[in-house]
């Protein structure tokens, strides 16, 4: 029996219990600095020109980040003049393991930014430690104090900005911070599951809207490419039912190869990428009725973000030497 989209038998179960590990981590470092990290931005980007019919403004990173083959930008979320981005690390020859994922805080006004390593806090035999958060980090939602990072088939991870920790030169920690001055430990995870007969939703990308989180699936071939919403509490955490589960509501399907999506009212905007040499597309409309706007973005667009009350969409592009934060005009796409 096929379930209607809105009752797809999908669930997210919150897993927390990291308070002791977080407190122990803070006790052997310079402690929690929270939003203070936003006042200590150590790298310099620049305003830039970027191709794409819908692009109004663009920013880029320093030369080392533009050419980096290990770290690849993915998720984007915007708050005022501050853009938060996720990157995931590819494992290069000679690497003993993956460096996981990180968040970048980029101030559009000053063009200054900083990378913050995402970690899992650990506590072994009373000793605090960290492990890299090994996720593709294809989407990001920054809502209130919380940052939600996509973890594909596993669901998503949640961190609190107030938990950003500054490391000392020699910390009594187990694990490797790979030279990062600041780390952001995840405080909880939302694990994806599905009832029998339903297929677990893949959290390929995330975005926030009016009291909701939008979730979508990257898909090639015959795989599902669902678009869904999750209601959010005012503090930014998912609304849960009596069993403590968040319940995604599937609203329909989008085009194949989706990289990001936002919903503005009843209108959707979806990015698709066409490799490192061809400009990206933005699809507009509603599930089941999308129209494609070709050459709208630079090559390699990823996640999408929208700030309510504005006519601007935001994306970040991933390919080396073609990495931009882009502000796009919704009017150019409608």
Please state which of the ranges 13-17, 116-120, 283-287 shows the lowest mean pLDDT.
Answer: 13-17
82 near 104, Cβ under 8 Å? no
- pTM for the predicted model, two decimal places: 0.95
More confident position, 159 or 309: 159
Q: What is the average pLDDT score of the chain?
A: 94
Nearest to residue 263, comparing CAs of 235, 293, 239, 231?
A: 231
d(CA 239, CA 241) in angstroms, rounded, equals 7
CATH architecture of the domain with residue range 10-329: 6 Propeller (2.120)
- Distance between CA atoms of residues 120 and 24, nearest Å: 13
The radius of gyration of the chain from alpha carbons, rounded to an integer in Å, stands at 19
**214 touches 263 (CB < 8 A):** yes
Please identify which residue in the block is written with the tokens 């030369």.
Answer: 63
Residues facing residue 52 across a β-bridge = none
Across the range 120-148, mean pLDDT stands at: 94
**pLDDT score recorded for residue 3:** 42
Q: Where are the domains of the chain?
A: 10-329
The answer to whether the beta carbons of residues 45 and 113 sit under 8 Å apart is yes
Would you state the structure tokens that stand for residue 29, as one six-digit string?
């470092």
Tokens 């999408």 identify what position? 304
- More confident call, 210 vs 312: 312
How far apart CA 227 and CA 266 sit, in angstroms, is 13
Give the residue-averaged pLDDT of 117-139.
Answer: 94
Whether the pLDDT of residue 133 is over 80: the answer is: yes
pLDDT in tens, 53-98: 999 999 999 999 999 999 999 999 999 999 999 999 999 999 989 9
Two tokens at 334? 């409608």
Whole-number Å distance between alpha carbons of 201 and 226: 8
| pLDDT one-digit tens code per residue, 260-315 | 999 999 999 999 999 999 999 999 999 989 999 999 999 999 999 998 889 999 99
Write the burial class of residue 53 (CB in 10 Å: 0-12 exposed, 13-18 middle, 19+ buried): middle
Give the contacts of 116 (CB within 8 A, at least 6 positions apart): 37, 102, 103, 104, 105, 164, 180, 182, 183, 184
* Chain mean position to CA 66: 19
Residues 307 and 170: their CA atoms lie apart, in Å, by 40
Name residue, tokens 């790979």: 178
First and final CA of the chain: distance in angstroms?
Answer: 37
Strands (E), 108-204: 112-124, 127-132, 140-143, 146-150, 155-160, 165-166, 182-194
In Å, what is the CA distance from 156 to each residue of 191, 205, 332? 7, 10, 32
Q: For residues 143 and 232, is the Cβ–Cβ distance under 8 A?
A: yes
Which residues, other chains included, contact 213 with Cβ-Cβ below 8 Å and sequence gap of 6+?
141, 143, 148, 206, 207, 229, 230, 232, 238
Residue 168 has pLDDT above 60, yes or no: yes
Task: Say if residues 181 and 236 touch (Cβ distance below 8 Å).
Answer: no
């Amino acid at each position: 029996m096929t379930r209607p989209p809105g009752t797809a038998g999908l669930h997210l179960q919150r897993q927390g219990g990291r308070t002791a590990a977080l407190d122990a981590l803070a006790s052997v470092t310079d402690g929690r600095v929270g939003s203070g990290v936003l006042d200590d931005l150590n790298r310099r980007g620049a305003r830039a020109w970027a191709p794409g019919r819908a692009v109004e403004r663009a920013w880029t990173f320093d030369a080392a980040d533009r050419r980096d083959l290990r770290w690849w930008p993915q998720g984007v979320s915007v708050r005022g003049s501050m853009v938060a981005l996720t990157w995931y690390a590819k494992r290069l020859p000679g690497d003993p393991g993956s460096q996981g994922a990180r968040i970048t805080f980029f101030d559009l006004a000053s063009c200054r930014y900083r990378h913050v390593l995402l970690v899992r806090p650990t506590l072994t035999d009373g000793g605090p430690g960290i492990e890299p958060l090994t996720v593709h980090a294809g989407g990001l939602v920054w809502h209130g104090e919380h940052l939600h990072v996509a973890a594909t088939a596993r669901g998503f991870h949640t961190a609190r900005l107030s938990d950003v920790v500054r490391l000392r030169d020699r910390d009594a920690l187990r694990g490797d911070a790979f030279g990062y001055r600041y780390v952001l430990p995840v405080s909880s995870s939302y694990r994806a599951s599905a009832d029998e007969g339903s297929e677990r939703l893949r959290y390929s990308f995330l975005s926030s809207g009016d009291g909701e989180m939008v979730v979508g699936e990257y898909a090639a071939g015959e795989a599902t490419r669902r678009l869904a919403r999750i209601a959010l509490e005012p503090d930014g955490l998912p609304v849960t039912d009596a069993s403590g589960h968040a319940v995604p509501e599937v609203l329909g399907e989008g085009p194949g190869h989706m990289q990001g999506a936002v919903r503005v009212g009843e209108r959707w905007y979806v990015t698709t990428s066409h490799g490192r040499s061809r400009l990206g597309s933005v699809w507009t409309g509603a599930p089941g009725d999308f129209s494609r706007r070709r050459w709208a973005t630079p090559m390699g667009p990823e996640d999408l973000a929208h700030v309510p009350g504005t006519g601007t969409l935001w994306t970040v592009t991933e390919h080396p030497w073609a990495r931009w934060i882009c502000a796009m005009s919704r009017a150019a796409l409608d």
